[in-house]
Structure 1
Amino acid sequence: MPQLRIHPRIKPLLAAVVMMAAAHAANALERWQTLPPTPAPVKWTQERHSELRGIRLYNAEVGRGSPVIVLHGGLANSDYLANQVRTLSRNHRVIVVDSRGHGRSTRDATPYGYDLMADDVIALMDQLKIPRADIVGWSDGAIQAFDIAIRHPERVGKIVAFGVNTKTDGLIPDFDKNPVFAAYIERAGKEYAKLSPTPNDYDAFVAQIGKMWETEPNWTDAQLKTIRSQVLVMDGDHDEGIQRTHTEYIAKTIPHARMLILPNASHFAFIQDPKSFDAAIVKFLDGTR
């Protein structure tokens, strides 16, 4: 087949057409069908690798005021919630954590469990001499927040729980095969290789934490009803992993909990629509009932 020759004057026009077609294809996607880039890391006042409970737990902080702990979701790292950290640090001392085995933190052979990760947070609070803090949690981070509220109620104030489940049957079957979620899992693996002290252990790490996901969490109604923190249950209206009826169940079961569903957003609303997400959490944390 003869090679197609393009006149030099036509090349810029052809390039423009290709760019327009790509832009049109991108615009054809709804916001909830996209996975925006992981935000750039925050310029921290302090960064630490705290030795506690047999691991080195990465944590960092910025801002001044009442403490807010920000906890990321499974497979991720604290950079994902950098937009929220920047917003909250205007009026709060914000502390982020890379959960054990995630991001820049190490792990050991101890089987994963939400009690285990929640107690890591409590141990860090003890080291930092923080008797009580509000918590903003996404997915596994929100589950940790509920775990603390149930077992250490005196240590947590308000809770923002985004994209959370309290029972394993609250998940949508095969959500990991959703294109957006699958892209997230792939990205998380690349970030793990870049950030982790054990960069080649991603598959082993996923297998280890996957065992926890098979059976946890599974709190009873009675346990959820013991939560006395003020709670905002948030989700996107197109969450790939959490059933809407389950989100509604959580909000109805935790005493006096509020619920907010963000439109045209998914399990990744905090990067899809950070402006609306941040406005909601600031209103809840800094407002009054």
Structure 2
Amino acid sequence: MNTRIKTGFLAAIILTVIACRPQQDTVVSQETKPAESGYADINGLKMYYEVYGKGQPIVLLHGSFMNIPLNWSRIIPLLAKDRKVIVAEMQGHGRTKDISREISYEGMADDVSGLLKHLKIDSADILGYSMGGGVAFQIAVRHPEQVRRLVILSGAYAHDGWWPDVEASFATFTPEMFENTPIKKQYDSLGNDPEHFPEFVKKVISIDLKPYDWSREVKNIKAPIFMAIGDADGVRYEHALELFRAKGGGKMGDIYGLPESRLAILPGTTHIGMMQQTDWLIPMITDFLDSDLNAPPPTF
């Protein structure tokens, strides 16, 4: 792994924080303040969560090293206008303190399942970004009855879903890379033990150092899936296309009708830049979630 790539990923980490922060002129109205927040006792965790708005519930799952304000500040006000938005912080992230178990996609999926039960929500739409996309896939695999529809932003369902150089870069991450970054400062400010930060970094990155492939299980998910990647993302185009074809894509909709699932490749968009594309993403996400799956194909 050359120095340019390692430096690029460090810059990307910092840019994630900058990209996901709300603009300075954004006014947080009463509607975008949490109606409920707190800690749920889930699988040995005290899992921090917040709830905004009213309506059909949607759960937002953040990316690696992130938390609610860093990942979702721009998204929450837009979705909470007509939905119940549930946001949670995964094991070791934000205000959810780490415990003595490994961090895994499967474990985090079970935690989110437990949170939905704690909130007495039978079924919800699930939206995951990057690491959160992997968690979202696992929720649909392990707890299908709790998933209405699935939105995956820049996420992968197999370790080789990433471009090879991106996958190789995961092994180069070190705690020292985060020194003096906003992510490290956020970690410390939320009451975490600074001495635990190196272990936190190693545990989070470990989930992508072990080969995984959920292709068979993910292709058999019954819930409709909307998968979006950037044309300059870390996720391979073929990876997204393979899932879309398995979910009914690859046919002319004017003849066969639209598939229940959807795929978007956003132009001029990187992995980090995905979270900046709210003008494109929010209309596409809400149209997918509100769509009539039984609608007939268009006629002339």
TM-score (structure 2 length as normaliser):
0.77
2:91 to 79, 82, 100: 100
Q: Which amino acid aligns with 1:284?
A: F
- Report the CA distance shift for 1:217/1:270 in structure 2 as closer, same or farther (over 3 A): same
Alignment of 1:118-129 (within 5 A): 118-129=109-120
Q: Which amino acid aligns with 2:190?
A: L
Structure 1 position 71, deviation (Å): 0.6
Q: What residue is the counterpart of 1:74 in the other structure?
A: 64
- Report the CA distance shift for 1:148/1:261 in structure 2 as closer, same or farther (over 3 A): same
Task: Name the SS of the counterpart of 1:249 in structure 2.
Answer: helix
The answer to whether the 8 A contact 1:105-1:196 is kept is: no
Q: Which amino acid aligns with 1:48?
A: G
Q: What residue is the counterpart of 2:269 in the other structure?
A: 265
1:52 to 42, 48, 55: 42
Structure 1 position 135, deviation (Å): 0.8
Q: What residue is the counterpart of 1:6 in the other structure?
A: none
2:210 to 193, 210, 215: 215
The answer to whether the 8 A contact 2:58-2:84 is kept is: yes
Unaligned runs of 5+ in 1: 1-33
Task: Name the SS of the counterpart of 1:116 in structure 2.
Answer: helix
Q: Which amino acid aligns with 1:245?
A: E
Q: Are positions 1:195 and 2:190 aligned together?
A: yes
CA RMSD after TM alignment: 2.5
Q: What residue is the counterpart of 1:288 in the other structure?
A: 292
1:65 to 41, 55, 76: 55
The answer to whether the 8 A contact 1:132-1:156 is kept is: yes
Quick one: percent identity of the two aligned structures?
A: 29
The answer to whether the 8 A contact 1:68-1:133 is kept is: yes
2:128 to 121, 137, 161: 137
Partners of 2:166 and 2:284 in 1: CA distance:
26
Deviations 1:216-259 (A, max 9, x none): 54113x312220111100011111x2122222222223454310
Q: Which amino acid aligns with 1:46?
A: E
Partners of 1:261 and 1:169 in 2: CA distance:
18
1:205 to 172, 188, 200: 200
- Report the CA distance shift for 1:76/1:174 in structure 2 as closer, same or farther (over 3 A): farther
- Report the CA distance shift for 1:284/1:199 in structure 2 as closer, same or farther (over 3 A): farther
2:232 to 218, 221, 238: 238
Q: Which amino acid aligns with 1:69?
A: V
Task: Name the SS of the counterpart of 2:207 in structure 1.
Answer: helix
Partners of 1:189 and 1:246 in 2: CA distance:
32
TM-score (structure 1 length as normaliser):
0.79
- Report the CA distance shift for 1:59/1:210 in structure 2 as closer, same or farther (over 3 A): same
The answer to whether the 8 A contact 1:114-1:217 is kept is: no
The answer to whether the 8 A contact 1:57-1:100 is kept is: yes
Partners of 1:283 and 1:198 in 2: CA distance:
42
Partners of 2:120 and 2:51 in 1: CA distance:
14
